[in-house]
Amino acid sequence: MDFLDISKQRYTTKHYNPTRKISDRDINELLEVVRLAPSAVNIQPWHFYVGSSQSAKEKILKAIPDFNIPRIQDCSHFVVLCSKTKMTDQELSAITQKEDADGRYPKAEIRDAVDSHRKIFARMHEDLGDFTQWTAKQTYIAMTALLYAAASKGIDSTPIEGMDFDKTDEILNLKNKNLKSVMIVALGYRAENDSNADRPKSRLNYEEVITSID
């Protein structure tokens, strides 16, 4: 199945089969996908919390309103996607050091220039006062990768913003880690009576959202 076919068939699951579980191999591959997701200047301003046990679900359900509780209760796994609220020079340099260790830089001058530019971008967004919005945008890229990677494996998903973000941050002690919850993605396998499964996919027409620049 190619990416266009996945895009045509994927939908947001409303009801999960609680008896079907994602294999360890598949969930680990999905988490590897989010780890490898692209971000501006490769800043990787995120952290991902994954849960599947009943105790993990009960913990996070304290931040989930009534209408979304079934998604968490019955899914196989859930992932809380979090973005950085600030990053120190040491954290930014650690990214450069990892890149250097992975062989990305043929010359020290290039490495040092990239390190400097990454810090300039980060500080620019701090000065503009939109650093947390900027990092959240990067985290949405990882979320999209997760949704489509799951679909490629026949795994259903539900991106959830209907949640108490402050309560989630409290549960996971995110403030002390300079993190902010952005969303939760439920993962699993649809129930036979999932209310969204048989509805035709609906999007605005091509000409309404795409314009060629002459």
- pTM above 0.85? yes
Can you tell me the distance from the alpha carbon of 130 to that of 126, in angstroms, rounded to the nearest whole number?
Answer: 6
Q: Compute CA 56 distance to the chain's CA centroid, rounded to the nearest angstrom.
A: 18
What domains can be seen in the chain, in order of their start residue?
Answer: 3-86+132-209 (3.40.109.10)
Can you tell me the distance from the alpha carbon of 138 to that of 14, in angstroms, rounded to the nearest whole number?
Answer: 26
C-alpha closest to that of 186 among 24, 64, 83: 64
pLDDT at 1 over 80: no
State residue 139's pLDDT score: 98
Under the banding of pLDDT at 50, 70 and 90, the label for residue 54 is very high
Cβ(54)–Cβ(20) under 8 Å? Answer: no
pLDDT in tens, 91-139: 999 999 999 999 999 999 999 999 999 999 999 999 999 999 999 999 9
State residue 195's pLDDT score: 86
Can you tell me the distance from the alpha carbon of 170 to that of 117, in angstroms, rounded to the nearest whole number?
Answer: 33
